[in-house]
Structures are given as C-alpha cells and as structure tokens.
Homo-oligomer: A and B are copies of this chain.
Amino acid sequence: MDVGQDDDLKDIEERAYKAGAVKHYAIDAKKDFAEGPIAMAIMANALYEDKYPLGTALARPLIAEKIIEVAKREGCDAVAHGSTSKGNDQVRFNETLMALAPDLMIIEPAKIWGMNRAEEVEYAKKHGIPIPNIHSRFSIDDNLWSRSIEGHETDDPSAEVPEDAFKWTVPPEKVSEPLILEVEFREGLPVAVNGERMDLVGLISLLNKVVGAHGFGRVDHVENRVVGFKSREVYEAPAALTLIEAHRDLEKLIYTPLEYRFKKFIDQEWTDLVYGGLWHEPLREELSDFAKSMNRWVSGVVKVKVFGGLTIIGRESPYASYSKDLVDYVSGWYPSEEEARGFIRMHVLHSLTAYRTRHKA
C-alpha cells in the first residue's frame, strides 16, 4: 500500500513473492489518504499530546480497510499482520478489522510466537525473507504525513537523537536563507502555496521538501501509548506541522473566543480517539462532522516564515471576526467611562462577592 512512504513498491512485491505469497496487490492510496484521514487531521489540528501529527495512526485504519476489500475480493477467511503485543498499531489494525469484517480471522504471528524484534529479524534471515535497511539502527515508519523514528539512541529520553536518524529535515544551522510561504485555505483545507493551486498530495509533498530543507519539522517528545506505557518518540513532519500551525492561526482570526475554546476540545478528543485506535467509535465520526462544519468558515491566507523555526507573520480571511473600528485607538469606537465601569463591575461581581465573603470569615 502506497501511503506516501519512501519505499520501493517493486521491491516490496518481490519480497512478498520470495516470502511465499501466492498473490500480491500494490495499491496506491495516497489520494485516499490525503483527502480522507489527513484532511480531517488538518481540520482537527490533530497533534497527539500537543506534538505528534498522527501520521501512522491515521494510515492504519485506511490500510486495514483496503486489506478487507482485497480479502473480500479474494474470498479470504483470515488476514495477518506483523504487529507485536506492545505497540499501538495492533489496536488500530484490529479495531478496523473487527468493526468492518468481524468474521475475518486475524493472525498475528509475532504475537502468537511471542517474538520480539530481534527474534523476528532472526526468523526472517533463517527463512530467506530479505529485510530492507536491516543495518539501520532505527525502526522507521513513514508516510505522506510524518516519518517516525524508533529504536537505539531514541529509546533513552535523555539522549540526543543523532543527526543520521533524520532524513526529511536539515538541522537549522545548515539553513542559509529564510523561506516565506503563503498558504491558502478553503473551508479548512490548504489549496494553494504562494498562489499556486495544487492538490493535497502535491501540496503536502512540496511542503515536506521545502520546509524540511529550511530546518523545521522535527518533533521529540515522550508519548503515552494506549497500551499503558510511555515511550520517547521522534518524528519528522514538516508539512503537517506547518499546515496545522497555519490552520490554527487562521481559525483564531475567524472563531469567537467561545468557538476557539470549544474547537480545541473537539480537536483533542478527535486526536485521542484516532491515536487510541478508536476510528469506528461513533463519537469519532460525530466529531469529524462537527470539525468539518466549523471549518466551512476557515478560508483565507496565512503567511509564514521558516528558518530553523516557524513564525506566522500575517493572515487574512473574508470571515475574519475582526473590526478595525474596534481595534483602532485613534479614531475607533470607545465605550464611555460609565459603560466601561458597568462592564467591569458586572464582569468581576460574582468573583468579588465571594472573595469578600470568605476574607471577612
């Protein structure tokens, strides 16, 4: 399944047949991935625990869905995958399989045989199954939306991740000049960069390249897994981090303060559900609808500067809830002294009544 990862699909096919596959399917799911789960993730500003843009978590249900389609077409009575018993992905794969194809048996050899990663590698070697990047110290999962790096030095949360772990981003000190980008959004989704319209797959690919080349897009944090423990996780996600930062900035220009706070709550719930593998929890769908509905106003342009970090430097929208007259300190509207006094008094009245009562006591 091509969800935008840096894999050679031909090579995967060859390895499949070498491993004994009777039939192999290669599916290009990039467009489905971008316009489905990724589009929702943008509208929901999805950053798990405020950091991780969910790349892998978003792809798993889609992959499982496509697998079910093939399994049904081929009349399979079981599907297999290689998840271990301590990762998040087993939950994400199996939830979708159980929701959409409850009669399909799920076979997870690594769990049944109780293999850890080292033993899996040993098994593959023994049975002549070639493993790409077998000499890499890191375990990588990448797709259009993010590249995750696990293993070795990353396991120790206090150790700095070595530079050779990164592939999509350069370190800031290697950058020579700033990048200015104008990202245009229509109803919550990015549609153009610097005036050039492009589809979501193209736009994300472009941003991954140019933003990463300007030294922005790394995440390094300690994450709470759904299976009950913390792990230090390292990601590269230049496009995701740029688009979400820009999207949130635009929302803030448009939403009322009540909408802004409520939307954050929606976003966090949606993100937690997706991370936790609850793609078919009815609330997930309802939150998607809600986020989509609120995004129908989120159109406009956000200007960002990238150089090591990213700063928003301007934004505009036809739906900006912004009044020059209210803001202007020279010629704009001023409440009268008495109006202001009335507002302040009633704004603080509940608080001060309680404050005084308790301080007298």
Contact = CB atoms under 8 A, between A and B. Distances in A.
Contact of A157 (B173, B221, B320): B320
Say how many copies of this protein the assembly contains.
4
Interface residues of A, number: 131
A343 interface: yes
B158 A314 contact: yes
Contacts of A218: 311
26 contacts: A85-B336, A86-B333, A98-B352, A99-B348, A111-B340, A114-B337, A158-B303, A160-B303, A171-B307, A172-B308, A222-B252, A224-B260, A227-B343, A227-B346, A229-B326, A230-B253, A230-B353, A259-B283, A265-B265, A276-B347, A280-B352, A282-B354, A286-B293, A319-B358, A326-B353, A343-B343
Interface string A237-279: 0000000000011001111111111100100110001001110
A356 B248 CA distance: 22
A127 B63 CA distance: 53
A155 interface: yes
Contact of A85 (B159, B278, B334): B334
Contacts of A2: none
Nearest to A321: B354
